[in-house]
Amino acid sequence: MIPALGLDAPVHPMGWRTVDNHTEWEVPDFAAGHHIDSAFPGEAGNVVISGHHNIGGSVFAALSRIGEPDAPFGLGDAIILEDDVGRRFVYRVTGWRRIPETDASVTTRQENASYLLSTDFPALTLITCWPAQTNTHRVIVMAALTEIRTP
């Protein structure tokens, strides 16, 4: 849930498939996808969640606009994840990047993949594409855990 965007999307486990000697994440439609090899909310490590911005329900369409002049979401804003027992994990945006993906070199793609790596502190990384009509770039939103609310 991202209150500043009015975004409240379900989050489903998300895996990957191999296509032409490389892997592609299988981002769910009409939901965000929790990368199955990333941390769980509240744990030390990086919780990685991806969502579509212009297909399949476009759950991260508003998120992809971070950094644009009229974007209602940015540094310090809350991202709240809720688990199956009702605990709420509040993360605050610490940074964001818009990075090239289409036609990027292998080196650039490897650098981009560093946002998926684990951390030794509770972190959250949201990933979507940009701009609205294409998928030439990735938008990476980084956040740190600031609060855990129990039911």
- The CATH number linked to 98 is 2.40.260.10
pLDDT band at 58 (very low <50, low <70, confident <90, very high): very high
User: What is the model's pLDDT at position 72?
Assistant: 92
Pick 151 or 123 by higher pLDDT: 123
Give pTM, 2 decimals: 0.94
Q: What average pLDDT score do residues 37-57 get?
A: 96
Beta-bridge partner residues of 49 = 34, 126
Q: Is the peptide bond before 131 cis (omega within 30 degrees of 0)?
A: yes
Q: Beta 45-50 vs 122-130: how paired, if at all?
A: parallel
Task: Indicate the number of domains in the chain.
Answer: 1
Q: What average pLDDT score do residues 13-25 get?
A: 86
User: What is the model's pLDDT at position 40?
Assistant: 96
Q: What average pLDDT score do residues 4-16 get?
A: 94
For residue 113, give the 3-state DSSP assignment.
helix
Round to whole Å and give the CA distance between 64 and 41: 22
Rg of the chain, C-alpha, whole Å: 15
Q: Phi, psi (5° rounding) for residue 116?
A: -90, -10
Would the pLDDT of 50 be above 90?
A: yes
User: What is the model's pLDDT at position 109?
Assistant: 85
Range of the domain at 54: 3-149
